[in-house]
Amino acid sequence: MVQITEMVARIADGAMLVDETGMVRMWNRAAERLLGFRADEVVGRPCRDVLCGRTLGGSELCSPACEIGKRLAAGTGVRNYDMQTRAKSGRVVWVNISSIPVPTRKAGRFMRLHLFRDISRQMKVLQLAEDLHGMLSATGHAGSMPAPARPTPQASANLPVGRGTSPLTKREQDVLRLMAAGSTTKEIADALFISMVTVRNHIQHIFEKLGAHTRLQALALAFPPGPSPA
């Protein structure tokens, strides 16, 4: 435990160590600087009450039935996912999190180490880009903005199963194809007759399964370049 304590203290990212019951046991200085909570205000509280996380679509992520906690309890890490939380001041903060199971002295039992870094600026830029593209689309000028390259038909037909344990669902594949075509969140929602909240939830699931945390990264992982022509 001493080694874990020293490691968490030295980590440059915000770090939170959570025990098997979901209680926070460690909170480093980087986490204090990022969210404004002192360690003595956080340690001993349920993880879900500290972060109160929500997904890209605004759905509750932190809850007693936390799926990420279940994966970590089984010894499976979660590479990257984005989450909305709030600082002590009430300011909304977007964080990208990597969650790692930490073995305990009991065989098959794990604590949970969450490492998080601020991506609020990137999220604002992404939202502004989506809003701008939407405005240009409405006025018929979207063609002046570069869109991600469309995947080849062969690549579209052979979508990835993801790096996690679950393959992409049919609907997630549909969303990914529209993302590759440069569609905005609203355009995807209109094309699939679903809400924008549902689209954002699908995108979050795609990110988790591919091990990505931006749209461009997800597309790069989903549609890697093929062999160069001879």
Q: How big is the CA angle at 184 (ends 180 and 185), to the nearest 5 degrees? A: 110
Residue 29's closest CA among 16, 18, 48, 45? 16
Q: How long is the chain?
A: 230
Q: Which domains does the chain have, with CATH numbers?
A: 2-118 (3.30.450.20), 122-222 (1.10.10.10)
CB atoms within 10 A of CB 123: 19
Which range in 72-86, 106-120, 132-146 is most confidently predicted, on average pLDDT? 106-120
Task: Tell if the pTM clears 0.85, that is, is over it.
Answer: no
pLDDT at 69: 86
Residue 110 token pair:
């794990």
Query: What sign for the dihedral angle of Cα 75, 78, 84, 86?
Result: positive
The neighbouring-strand residues paired with 86 are 92
Task: Read off the pLDDT of residues 7-43 as tens digits, 9 standing for 90 and up.
Answer: 888 888 999 999 999 999 999 999 999 999 999 999 9
Q: What is the mean pLDDT of the chain?
A: 79
- E-strand stretches of 19-161: 24-27, 78-86, 92-103, 110-118
pLDDT in tens, 131-185: 666 666 666 655 544 444 333 333 333 444 444 445 788 889 889 888 887 788 8
pLDDT above 90 for 127: no
Dist CA 189 CA 120 (whole Å):
24
d(CA 189, CA 183): 10
Q: Residue 48 — very low, low, confident or very high, per pLDDT cuts 50/70/90?
A: very high
What's the pLDDT band for 95 if we cut at 50, 70, 90? very high
Higher pLDDT: 59 or 154? It is 59
> Regarding predicted confidence, which is higher, 3 or 191?
191
Dihedral (CA of 162, 167, 171, 174) sign: positive
Q: In the chain, what is the straight-line distance between the N-terminal and C-terminal CA atoms, in Å?
A: 56
Q: What is the pLDDT of residue 50?
A: 96
Average pLDDT over residues 69-76: 87
